[in-house]
A and B are shown apart, each in its own frame.
Chain A
């Protein structure tokens, strides 16, 4: 394959089978048509933010998305379907499950949202160790499907690697990112309660969801037994509990508590790129959005010593085409960002763009979601919760917070949920059964919690390009070699002990821990790292502004940039890092430094 080329970038022969070169591309006009101020690779949570920020600052921005277009509302085919309208009541047919053993493990891969997930055979990868890689290739990416929990990191989290001696020191601190958290929270719409916790800083909150009486009771009991060190708070989440004018301007309306978010929300009740940042960027008149555009690699201009643009393959026609810009934001989702950069080789960067130290693809980490605990409470039996809450309660990290106190590093946050057990007598048959099915009976309160553990980035957890296997466009497949370690095992044990103790102190009964030791990493869908930020170009890939140390006009602000993982759901931090980096990038462009 010959790449359509401007002449300024290196002309390379590629061995793709399906080149379809159109001579018109060589004309000067064509090059001009394919030249923008900025290119954003990916349209998920962080790519959407890059698009909004860059267009908002006046940059003509090309947004490339490898998947199909998904327009807000019109492309949510299941969003208004009622339960009985799903032929299998939302369960996936066996044939689909058998053909898709990986994505079928994801809790949200059901009849109502299956069309937003990548099927196993469509985009193969190599599991050097078992890893369930869950992907959403479409405009909006996984922002349509995410769990919408949005907690700020605290200074305890940014200090983690330096204090505990793993990975490398973060090049930024909480105070530097705090204003950017505020900035993105106001626009996205984050619901929460101001809890005043140093380990989980308050944000710009819309009104919080309500806790159930058992959740409040659990909080009171924990305050009594642990003196305020183990608060039980309502989750902070990207739902418009009470929209502000800025949200109405986006065309969004109040969250309707349907909790059918994974289908796409016709009200724009939760934050997604599709409902929020992408239409906002579109409205600026500065964005060109190109779906079905698979980015092959980034073009490095050897003479100018910076990136010149990107090589793209049209997913439908297999045409190869190049686009050019002064700055490039890579927001392809953590592992695919690694893949693109590793595949961006040149004379200057034979191991991948900006990869002078050979660390690109290494120090991949994630969140350990493999264990949970359940119990029952026999109190408050004259009360119940009613309706649906697209949120749950939350237990911020309390382990090793102020100092090292266990035989493992870092700690875990946890969800906490409660509801009355309801059932009907199903023992009979005939009229007797019909009558008993209409009588809802109440059991105890059911309580449950799941662990969200910080994992330690290690050089041995890595992704790399497979030397032989390629995808259908000739792009190397990604090899994933990521697994749990001893620290994770100790943390699971501690979570079981501590939560059992907490549940016991609260008077909960029938306490049971659930662990799936052989559950592969990946289903947290929080893979991070590989292109980490750091102070020293010798030990990191990105600087404190998310710029590649060695190629300053390329920015990485998705999960790939993460130096460590903390315990918080990461998306809010990606949003803040993206807005901050975009602001910096535009200032640098104006100062003619880029």
Chain B
């Protein structure tokens, strides 16, 4: 009986979520996007950079998981003006490094060339902050993407549990 009434109240609880008031939609990507920081071409370059950092293999890479859009959103909305300048400049630096080394844009380079370019930029004191920032955001966005959380980390909101002392799984 208790179990039944608990389940009933649970169903009522979750069912109630169907009808959210309009203000409840306050936090959606659309409403917080703000002004676009990058041109389409720059955004494409950023997409290729995050894809180079975490590429598609047998599982999706950062680009198809839209991690570049996450990185852009964070820099645009949460980071300061310096980070925004750093992003603009870093994207330009990336393309001029590609032009210098391979006489083509970063996006036109092959995977191996892109990886070499990024490693070189990471070693350069001038461009290192840009690469670090994008790499950190790429890891954060990738690890917290729906694909990785659900399929790799087996995210489960409820029911949860806590065990204080279990053997480490090898």
Contact = CB atoms under 8 A, between A and B. Distances in A.
B14 A429 contact: no
A538 to B, nearest CB: 50
A433 B119 CA distance: 13
A77 interface: yes
Contacts of B149: 82-84
Interface string A182-218: 0000000000000000000000000001111101100
B164 A215 contact: yes
Contact of B55 (A260, A381, A430, A442): A430
Nearest to B169: A384
Nearest to B135: A429
Nearest to A98: B80
B160 A88 contact: no
A248 interface: yes
Contact of B145 (A84, A210, A211, A243): A84
B78 A388 contact: no
A266 B9 contact: no
Given A77-B26, A83-B149, A84-B144, A256 B9 contact: no
Q: Which one of A76, A209, A248, A249 has the highest number of Cβ atoms from chain B below 10 Å of its Cβ?
A: A248
B168 A382 contact: yes
B20 interface: yes
Interface residues of A, number: 65
A442 B170 CA distance: 11
Given A82-B146, A253-B13, A433-B53, A385 B166 contact: yes
Contact of B2 (A80, A83, A248, A386): A248
A73 interface: yes
Interface stretch (B36-44, B85-93, B101-109, B151-159): B151-159
A258 interface: yes
Contacts of B12: 73, 251
Given A89-B144, A92-B78, A384-B166, A80 B27 contact: no
Contact of A256 (B27, B77, B140, B160): B160
B159 to A, nearest CB: 5
Contacts of A251: 9, 12-13
Given A94-B78, A382-B168, A430-B115, A74 B161 contact: no
Interface in A243-272: 243, 245, 248-249, 251-254, 256-260, 266-268
Interface string B2-42: 10011101101110110111011111110010000000000
Contacts of A514: none
A89 B143 CA distance: 11
A173 interface: no
Most buried by A among B25, B55, B70, B157: B157
A95 interface: yes
A91 interface: yes
Interface of B is mostly: helix
B115 A429 contact: yes
A36 B118 CA distance: 72
A442 B32 CA distance: 37
A108 B136 CA distance: 23
Interface in A382-428: 382-389, 420, 426
Given A254-B6, A429-B119, A74 B16 contact: yes
B97 interface: no
A111 interface: yes
Nearest to A92: B78
Nearest to A81: B27
B160 A429 contact: no
Contacts of A517: none
A83 to B, nearest CB: 6
Contacts of B168: 381-384, 420, 442
Given A257-B159, A430-B115, A210 B164 contact: yes
B146 A84 contact: yes
Contacts of B163: 210, 385-387
Contacts of A115: 23, 26
A89 B167 CA distance: 31
A285 interface: no
B2 A212 contact: no
A258 B158 contact: yes
A434 B54 contact: yes
A437 interface: yes
B5 A88 contact: no
A440 to B, nearest CB: 9
A79 interface: yes
Contacts of B111: 430
Interface in A75-106: 75-80, 82-84, 86-89, 91-95
Contact of B162 (A252, A257, A429): A257
Contacts of A88: 32, 73-74, 77-78
B17 A388 contact: no
A380 interface: yes
A74 B18 CA distance: 8
A450 to B, nearest CB: 20
Name which of B9, B111, B164 has the most chain A CB atoms within 10 A of its CB.
Answer: B164
A92 B32 CA distance: 11
A29 interface: no
Contact of A437 (B25, B142, B162): B142
A253 B17 contact: no
B155 A387 contact: no
Contacts of B118: 429
A230 B164 CA distance: 21
B155 A94 contact: no
Contact of A93 (B19, B32, B141, B144): B32
A426 B131 CA distance: 13
A431 B111 CA distance: 11
Given A76-B17, A77-B21, A258-B158, 7 more contacts: A74-B16, A77-B23, A77-B25, A82-B155, A91-B74, A243-B6, A386-B163
24 contacts: A74-B19, A77-B23, A78-B27, A80-B157, A82-B146, A82-B155, A83-B144, A87-B73, A89-B140, A210-B165, A216-B164, A251-B9, A253-B6, A253-B9, A253-B10, A256-B160, A383-B165, A388-B162, A389-B162, A429-B119, A429-B122, A430-B55, A433-B139, A434-B55
Interface of A: 73-80, 82-84, 86-89, 91-95, 111, 115, 209-213, 215-216, 243, 245, 248-249, 251-254, 256-260, 266-268, 380-389, 420, 426, 429-431, 433-434, 437-438, 442
Closest 5 CB pairs of A and B: A77-B24, A257-B160, A213-B165, A389-B162, A210-B164
